Amino acid sequence: MPLSATYGGDALYAASSGNDAHTVNKANTTLSISDTPDPSIDTGNVTVTASLLVTHPGSGTPTGTITVTATQSTGCTMNLPTTSCALSFSAAGSQTINASFGGDASFNGSVATAITNQVNPSNTAPTITGPSNQSINEDANTGALAVTVGDAETAASSLTLAGTSDNTTLVPNNAANIALGGSGTNRTVTIMPAADQSGSATITLRVTDPGGLFTETSFTVTITAVDDAPTAVADVATVNEDSGSNTIDVLGNDSDIDGGTNLVTAVGTATNGTTAVGPAGANVTYTPNGNYCGPDSFTYTITGGSSETVSVTVTCIDDGPAAAVADSVTVNEDSGANTITVLTNDTPDPDGTAFVVTAVGTATNGTTAVGPAGANVTYTPNGNYCGPDSFTYTITGGSATVTVTVTCIDDGPAAAVADSVTVNEARANTITVDQRYA
């Protein structure tokens, strides 16, 4: 640049001037850059920030532009004093970023040291291929159905599979009804509908990656109703001893989820009674054995084959005391006390209660008595009597007559006994020497 100087002179010296040329060099600059975020994704922006410093002893503020270039990018430009710009990358990988300052009238240009940015692929939603629509019968399951999952950026083992139903009455949303299995790419789903249900449900399967992106697929499960056999339920009944045929409503507590008509189709035998299917299979009948009381049981079968047990209690009923039966005996004249076993032919107490002679009536031609402990009676004919006789006896529950025949016994010839009489002189006198029949 030109320089000039002028001296105006004074009293002793004349004025003068002079010219010279001076060279002024541009100041040097130092450029550095940084980037954020690092790593980045291929669908996002990376901000490049520049720092442009003037090298001492230079000073001032540079003007102009900083140009940023990068592989797999169109680059960007900073118009000073702006010191940042945004890059976008078209591919994943390690990308090199360069920057340069072209300089201006006062400052030399400079080039930054290159930096790298790790560009990762952008997260894409995972993929899923589910089963086709399914048709099964009521109370069946689909079995394990194949499900394939995948993700471009995520290992299949890190993907989460879940399933939901739009009909939770038919297919509840829990692990027992929507059972997921398998691992990695190859997964399975098994649909187990609720018991005794029919209809259709749409099952939605969702695969989710760690970044929260998900993909869904759906299929329909149609469940066809099947006639369910009725279920027999155990019964308890109480009947009386010797009550004859008893009708037992065994169907009242049995169930048929389909609302069908239940009938008794068969009945088993009972140990202490007889059984039969009631009219039109509407019930069963039970007849306890005569004089039996206590527990008993038998089985019954209903439509569809379900069987159960009927437990019967036969209540004991007092059948009344033993019945006395008339007796007929023969004893000898003058035979003394004769033991007569009057209880032998009596009808015993059906309930097994012991019975004894409690009283005995009088006899016309003899004497009677109750035997020891009421086990019998005794009859003693009057002396020298022979012929018919009778008396009554009483046991617990009744009385009867004992007819007795006293057999005559020859007592032997008469024995002559000396007699003594007094008669008058000169008269005929009759003397009775045998007075047995007098």
Distance CA 155, CA 283 (A): 66
Q: Which CATH number fits domain 327-407: 3.40.640.10, 2.60.40.10, 2.160.10.10, 1.25.40.10?
A: 2.60.40.10
Domain 235-315, CATH homologous superfamily name and number: Immunoglobulins (2.60.40.10)
SS3 266: strand
Buried (b) or exposed (e) across 243-272, using 16+ Cβ within 10 A?
eeebebebbeebebeeeeebbbeebeebeb
Per-residue pLDDT at 354 exceeds 80: no
Average pLDDT, integer, range 349-353: 68
> 437 pLDDT band (50/70/90 cuts)?
very low
Per-residue pLDDT at 22 exceeds 60: no
226, 220 in Cβ contact below 8 A?
no
pLDDT tens-digit series, residues 371-385 = 999 999 999 999 999
| pLDDT more than 70, % of the chain | 92
Q: DSSP letter for 372, please.
A: G
Higher-confidence position of 397 and 200: 200
Q: Which CATH number fits domain 127-224: 3.40.50.300, 2.60.40.10, 3.30.70.1350, 2.160.10.10?
A: 2.60.40.10
SS3 311: strand
275, 201 in Cβ contact below 8 A?
no
Indicate the burial class of 39 (C-beta count within 10 angstroms; 0-12, 13-18, 19 or more).
Answer: exposed
Domain 29-120, CATH homologous superfamily name and number: Immunoglobulins (2.60.40.10)
pLDDT tens-digit series, residues 268-305 = 999 999 999 999 999 999 999 999 999 999 999 999 89
pLDDT tens-digit series, residues 26-50 = 999 999 999 999 988 887 899 999 9
* Joined tokens for residue 204: 């939605």
